[in-house]
């Protein structure tokens, strides 16, 4: 029985899949440690069963759902996406998941629902880095309602046809391929429909020294510490094959989303 009922790829011949080993051993998941290898080393500390997702806010059918109740009604899809990290590296990952928009519609968001707010599990007993103040826990991310409803936005439950490893944000994480990786929040326990733009973790960090709420991949807007004009593709190749950087594409190459931002100055709303 194939895990994914539909499969689609958004990448071209120049985009080699990042090996499973690399996707699962080079992670930014600060709750499990700030080093790239820490999330894998500490992965077993995150217990994902049982898992409850609370859906609340401006919607007709709020509730607390088990992982099964949340995911089961949907067909699983495999989607091969580029993932662009704010640190100027990128990967190509075959995710397995459910379309975010379809999942959200089940809760019947009302007209007051202008944004969706996502929250990562907060459990300092379980998650070592939450016992220190590296970031303001819990990790919070958000999307504008129309962004969340875009067919490219995915809630991932797996990768490479296997259940999502803990270090990649098990059991349920967001994947928004046209935004920097930190927007794709991991290990989601709460989804709220809200009227005002939510205060998100990195946008609030350091008095706004990082990116803002939108954080769309944009080669013309630098991060304070990294130029975003180019990136290094991590595809399991040798150091010599990684020497060549590639140009970063607007919206990470996902031009379909451009109409969402029509009329917005993306140098201001970065």
Partner 1 sequence: MVLTQRAFWEARGRSPALKPVVFALALVPLAELALRLFGLGLWGALGVNPIESIVRFSGDWALRMLLVALAVTPLRLLTGLAWPMKLRRMLGLFAFFYAALHLAAYVGLDQGLDWARIWADVVKRLYITVGMAAFAILLALALTSPKAAVRRLGGRRWQALHRLVYPAAVLAVVHYGLMVKADLTQPVIHGVVLALLLAARPALKSWRGRRRSGAEGRVRTAGRGL
Binding site for partner 1 (CB under 8 A): 22, 25-26, 30, 34, 36-37, 87, 89, 134-135, 205, 210, 222, 224-227, 229-230, 232, 234, 236, 238-239, 242-245
Question: Nearest CA to 186 among 133, 107, 118?
Answer: 118
Nearest approach, Cβ of 80 to partner 1 (angstroms)?
Answer: 19
- Cβ(165)–Cβ(26) under 8 Å? no
Q: Please compute Rg for the chain using Cα positions.
A: 18
CB of 231 to partner 1, least distance (A): 11
Identity of the residue, 229 or 266, whose beta carbon is nearer to partner 1 in the bound complex? 229
* CA 167 to chain CA centroid, nearest Å: 13
- Do residues 81 and 221 lie in contact, with contact meaning Cβ atoms separated by under 8 Å? no
Instruction: Say how far apart CA 14 and CA 125 lie, in whole Å.
Output: 43
Cβ atoms of 85 and 23 within 8 Å: the answer is: no
Total number of residues shown for the chain? 270
Shortest separation between residue 83's beta carbon and partner 1, angstroms = 13
Tell the smallest beta-carbon distance from residue 11 to partner 1 (Å).
19
| Residue among 14 and 238 whose Cβ is closer to partner 1 | 238
Q: Which residues contact 201 (CB under 8 A, 6 or more apart)?
A: 135, 136, 139, 140, 141
What does the alpha-carbon distance between residue 134 and residue 181 come to, in Å, rounded to a whole number? 18
Taking the least distance from each CB to partner 1, the nearer of 67 and 89 is 89
Smallest distance from partner 1 to CB 26, Å: 4
Between 25 and 48, name the residue whose CB sits nearer to partner 1.
Answer: 25
In whole angstroms, how close is the CB of 117 to partner 1 at the nearest point?
21
Strand-pair category, 6-9 with 77-84: parallel
Q: Which is nearer to partner 1, 7 or 199 (CB)?
A: 199
Output 89 or 261, the one with its CB closest to partner 1.
89
């Amino acid at each position: 029985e194939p895990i994914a009922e539909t499969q689609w790829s958004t990448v071209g011949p120049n985009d080699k899949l990042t090996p499973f080993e690399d996707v699962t051993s080079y992670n930014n998941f600060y709750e499990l440690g700030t080093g790239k290898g820490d999330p894998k080393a500490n992965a077993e500390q995150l217990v994902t069963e049982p898992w409850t997702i609370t859906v609340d806010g401006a919607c007709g059918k709020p509730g607390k759902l088990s992982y099964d109740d949340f995911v089961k009604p949907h067909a699983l899809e495999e989607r091969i996406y580029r993932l662009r990290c704010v640190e100027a590296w990128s990967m190509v990952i075959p995710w397995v998941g459910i379309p975010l928009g379809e999942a959200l519609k089940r809760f019947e968001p009302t007209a007051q629902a202008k944004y969706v707010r996502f929250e990562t599990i907060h459990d300092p007993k379980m998650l070592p880095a939450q016992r220190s103040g590296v970031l303001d826990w819990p990790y919070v991310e958000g999307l504008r309602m129309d962004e969340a409803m875009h067919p490219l936005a995915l809630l991932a439950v797996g990768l490479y046809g296997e259940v999502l490893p803990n270090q990649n944000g098990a059991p349920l994480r967001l994947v928004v391929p046209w935004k920097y990786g930190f927007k794709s929040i991991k290990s989601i326990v709460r989804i709220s429909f809200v009227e005002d733009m939510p205060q998100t973790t990195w946008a609030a960090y350091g008095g706004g020294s990082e990116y803002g709420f939108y954080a769309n991949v944009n080669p013309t807007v630098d991060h304070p510490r990294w130029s975003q004009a180019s990136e290094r593709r991590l595809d399991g190749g040798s150091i010599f094959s990684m020497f060549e950087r590639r140009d970063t594409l607007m919206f990470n190459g996902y031009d379909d989303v451009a109409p969402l931002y029509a009329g917005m100055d993306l140098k201001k709303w970065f």
